[in-house]
Chains A and B, each alone.
Chain A
Amino acid sequence: RKEVEQDPGPFNVPEGATVAFNCTYSNSASQSFFWYRQDCRKEPKLLMSVYSSGNEDGRFTAQLNRASQYISLLIRDSKLSDSATYLCVVNYGGSQGNLIFGKGTKLSVKP
């Protein structure tokens, strides 16, 4: 079983749609959780951290369920510029921590 698993893509949605991405992780020792965005042939960039209480940043809402080892990202009112690959990421934490990436889910927002 992979450490971080994501919904298979691609997701093709019209502008204005709401889209949800799901992710599960296998290691209960994971301490930090993130969503990264990666544009084609570019480096990953941090979209947002994910907390148990849930957090929102404009049109983006992230949720963490530690009991189910499940992470989600909701994008409301999709824009053409949201088209990218979204990577679910966990970190075991501390100075020896490293980022464990999911395979990514590709989103294409169409006019």
Chain B
Amino acid sequence: ETGVTQSPTHLIKTRGQQVTLRCSSQSGHNTVSWYQQALGQGPQFIFQYYREEENGRGNFPPRFSGLQFPNYSSELNVNALELDDSALYLCASSLEGNGYTFGSGTRLTVV
């Protein structure tokens, strides 16, 4: 049974650029959630995808968007990057919202 894998592990982008982060869910899981964790803070919920549709969203602007594919993998896209978007982005998969498994995250630095 493979766990949750995220890519890339680290990324440096310039303010105003766009970024795509990727997540492969754990085998058998159909729900993917994305979280943003700024330094010294707890993870903050961005949104969740269930069976390829957005199924809940936190307090993040529309420039944060996502996709879920038929194999339940997912992408997080962020447009018009701002310095405050620098954070660890975590993906978590689950089966029907039960028993979350986290990936090791993508550390994004915006300069």
Contacts and interface: CB of A to CB of B under 8 A. Distances in A.
A110 interface: no
Nearest to B48: A98
Contacts of B40: 103
Contact of A99 (B45, B88, B96, B105): B45
Contacts of A101: 35, 42-44
Contacts of A97: 97
A96 B48 contact: yes
Nearest to B45: A98
Interface string A80-100: 000000010001011111111
B102 A98 contact: no
Nearest to A103: B42
B11 to A, nearest CB: 15
Interface residues of B, number: 25
Interface stretch (A12-20, A37-45, A64-72): A37-45
A21 B102 CA distance: 23
Nearest to A106: B40
Given A42-B104, A44-B90, A45-B102, A98 B50 contact: no
A42 to B, nearest CB: 7
Interface of B: 31, 33, 35, 40-45, 48, 50, 55-56, 58, 88, 90, 92, 96-97, 100, 102-105, 107
Given A41-B88, A91-B97, 16 more contacts: A4-B42, A41-B107, A43-B103, A87-B42, A87-B43, A93-B97, A95-B31, A95-B50, A95-B55, A95-B97, A98-B58, A99-B43, A100-B45, A101-B43, A103-B40, A104-B42
5 contacts: A87-B43, A94-B97, A95-B96, A102-B42, A104-B41
